[in-house]
Amino acid sequence: MCTPFSGRGKAFAWLPAGLFSVAVLVTPLTFASLLYAADSGDKSREAESSLVSFEIIDNIHSKAIPKSLTGKKGNPKRGEVVMINRKLGNCLACHHLSRFDEKAKALPNKYGDMGEVGPPLDAVAERYDAGQLRLLLVDAKEVFPDTIMPAFYKVKGLHRVLPDYEGKPILEPQDIEDVLSFLLTLK
Ligand code: HEC
């Protein structure tokens, strides 16, 4: 009988023992690099021409947009305004943030009714770095292919776009940088 890892298994039975462990290590790596190579056309993709160009870095561990879309730093206070604005980020429709609990009581029109469709944004800067968060904002589907989180900086390949928004991203590049700078305070 052949239980996993209890013996060499049929596939490697022809190998000398020393080589067996090498094969076990190398085979998945080779496979992974083949997959990776197949994907390398995607590796650094230029954004559609109407948008500022950015490069998505895709390594095996994470995908990210390491560089600022505008070359400028974000303003976290403005980022908060973009996030709560229902026509802009509207992040609170899907995300709860404990830091806003007090404000939600005081200003229910702006901060109230925080949703739970997405994970809470508390301490999100401990889970992702700036480049990963930037990509999540630009196009969350790059990270979570089936997500309902909108791509905030994308104009092609979108579904159900309101006529006023056709050809326009939901957020401007500086909005993305401002929201990002706010998210980076969530530690
Ligand atoms: C329509 C709902 C929706 C909106 C609006 C939305 N998100 Fe999300 N977001 C999600 C969901 C759902 C996920 C979880 C990913 C998945 O689908 O598995 C997510 C994931 C995230 C994550 C990763 C969180 C983690 O812990 O992994 C961040 C950060 C994030 N969203 C930030 C934002 C910000 C900032 C905004 C506003 C600019 C926003 N989201 C708007 C639904 C939304």
Structural domain boundaries in the chain: 44-183
The model's pTM is 0.77
pLDDT over 70 for what percent of the chain? 74
- Best CA proximity match to 135, nearest among 60, 55, 59, 43: 55
Helix (H, G, I), strand (E, B) or coil at 52: coil
Mutate which of 85, 88, 94 to test ligand 1's pocket (most atoms within 8 Å of Cβ)? 94
> Which residue did the predictor score with more confidence, 61 or 100?
100
Cβ-contact 79, 181 below 8 angstroms: yes
Cβ-contact 123, 104 below 8 angstroms: no
Q: Which CATH entry fits the domain spanning 44-183: 3.40.50.620, 1.10.760.10, 1.20.1560.10, 3.30.70.1140? A: 1.10.760.10
Nearest CA to ligand 1 atom 11: 118
Nearest CA to ligand 1 atom 38: 89
- Best CA proximity match to 57, nearest among 74, 35, 40: 40
What residues are in contact with ligand 1 under a 6 Å CB criterion? 83, 89-91, 93-95, 117-119, 121, 124, 127, 133, 136, 144, 147-150, 152, 179, 183
Average pLDDT, the chain: 82
Cβ-contact 9, 27 below 8 angstroms: no
Burial of 52 by CB count in 10 Å (0-12 exposed, 13-18 middle, 19+ buried)? middle
Provide the pLDDT for residue 172: 97
Cα separations in angstroms, 183 against 41, 77, 92, 94, 144: 30, 11, 13, 15, 18
Section 99-107 average pLDDT: 97
